[in-house]
């Protein structure tokens, strides 16, 4: 099975994993934003940032790296 890999900032990423990570981060960011009080824009900003960090952490645990690193010794 061929993976759908795209180049993003000089690194190859799986398109499916990228879409999943963007979806998770979007949902947690907007969830944090909408949980904040509506009259306080500063809290909305920080709740949204907290949601983005939470989404990033969830994505790092759910999506594993596909890279294989082989170290060779120089003689």
Domain borders along the chain are 15-62
The whole model's pTM is what?
0.77
Return the DSSP state at 71.
Answer: -
Return d(Cα 67, Cα 10) in angstroms, integer: 13
Return the DSSP state at 10.
Answer: T
Per-residue pLDDT of the chain (75 residues; tens, 9 = 90+): 567 788 888 778 888 889 999 999 999 999 999 999 889 899 999 999 999 999 999 999 998 877 777 888 876
pLDDT at 2: 62
Burial label for 29, CB within 10 Å (0-12, 13-18, 19+), is: buried
pLDDT at 75: 67
- Stated as kind and residue range, the H or E segment containing 25 is helix 15-35
pLDDT at 45: 93
pLDDT at 35: 92
Return d(Cα 32, Cα 16) in angstroms, integer: 24
């Amino acid at each position: 099975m061929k993976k759908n890999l795209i180049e993003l900032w000089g690194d190859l990423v799986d398109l499916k994993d990228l879409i999943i990570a963007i979806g998770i981060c979007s949902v947690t960011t907007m969830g944090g934003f909408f949980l904040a009080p509506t009259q306080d824009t500063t809290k909305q900003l920080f709740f949204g940032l907290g949601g983005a960090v939470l989404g990033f952490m969830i994505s790092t645990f759910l999506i594993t790296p596909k890279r294989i690193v082989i170290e060779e010794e120089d003689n």
